[in-house]
Structure 1
């Protein structure tokens, strides 16, 4: 039986690799054409645009993983069916449950791979790619401005960060302090840079404005410490797109937003989507099984590729509809993230009942 496991796993694995190479090549070309519109800004040229697209490959791979798992499993099983090998297995007394177990093993490998790519490779490569592009376009190797800046809140302090240095330290920091009772601004700070200390931060080249009933007091300070300031990891999370954060980073940032009374729906939705993603890969592998065994040797590879493409497009459209619809109508983020996977899992179960 171990021989059958390896044989089925090898067929699905090679088919998945083949499908992955084709789809990644197609999407890299599409993304590269889209990036050409930004070529010519600063030092960002055609070659740099291609490098940027390649740097984002892990992120693209993570987004396509459910479809790749579905198509890879469909094509791998279809090849075995067309060559009569699945029928030979059945004739030798191998049950459908046993074959499904073999498929599930390679499915588990794909689930683990999707988790590794989504938790480590995709977030790091996505952030690095954005930094690479921004520095080339804006011509500053040491400081990267953030589009529209980053806003944070810590207790009664509202913080705006203009950008981050290459080492992740914030620059162009503005801090407004609001009175708890009157809700009026009592102090405004501007610091060119902020450096983390053992406890708190050290602000450099600070302009401080203090507002009171008697008027406004302005002073300049070369150095000053500031305790009520978010950690460097929170600053990095606030300056990064939700899709480019890992599950751990998203979880910490969502907790931070909740503790400060800040709406976190978009981050929660991304968090739950990333948590559900490995389950989606498993469901897609399971869904491929009944389509092949429902019509052994009666259809070509193109038939299964067409089925897989339709299912993948349908899943993507439903996922995006619930994602943006959830943000607009305030649906529970867990429901928005989980509903497409549950629906396709239900379809897979009903399809499996048809052949068992």
Structure 2
């Protein structure tokens, strides 16, 4: 089925210094909007960026039917623009929508909307090596009715903003053994708004204690590592790249998936398995070279300088020759066309 997209042009880029813009603060000139009503998608359009008008009864404001993705577009070496791993992001977005009882966006509409929006606002894609255009597709329930029910009306939207390094310095984190991010059978594997709102309080407490983020543990025993802040957690110990296996409480990270593929191609030993806090603590206490980092679209790779377990901080390796930086460079080279895209990850405009 065809989904024609109407486009209302706007003045060209008005901001010239994108690097001074805080992450997610200044949008590009345009946004994409489509409406779901009467069981079908309609009125797909790209318009100048503007505020929304919602009824105070809109179900998204009361019962949490909100889902989003985080994607990036990159300036390539030859001047073309690459939207990285479009299909993988679409697949994850669709699974999140399924979990939240929200209608899927047809893949053809998702792809064409992303293509047209990025092409229209292409002058916002930073040319600097550490820059990208952050893309936020999201859906909200808009039916105006107070009552606990699955909504019948939705908005699917895409907005964009220039982005640079998410974390300026290596992180200090603490292992969280009281609060939980997600539980088996819950929505941990979905990118829905409630997962992030529920994480604010323990994260704020950690920041008040002098940490940058928390290292989440499983909700049943708090003995096994799950995620780091809003990122997948990865560790390089004794020549092995270790990350918790995917589960109902761990997000299927696109950056995580990409790094694991690259590591295996390099012949690196990779283990997707439960990682006990005790195992990590023992390695740190034994003086082993432990690389710890978060992996996510916004941060790409966020080095972890220290991990606090039961109040005691242990240093992790963040030297320039760290394996995590080798993986980051290889990922960067593929995204920007320096290295061949043998995985067909790039969607080049």
Give the TM-score of the pair, scaled to structure 2.
0.25
Highest CA radius of gyration, 1 or 2?
Answer: 1
Q: Which has the higher helix share?
A: 1
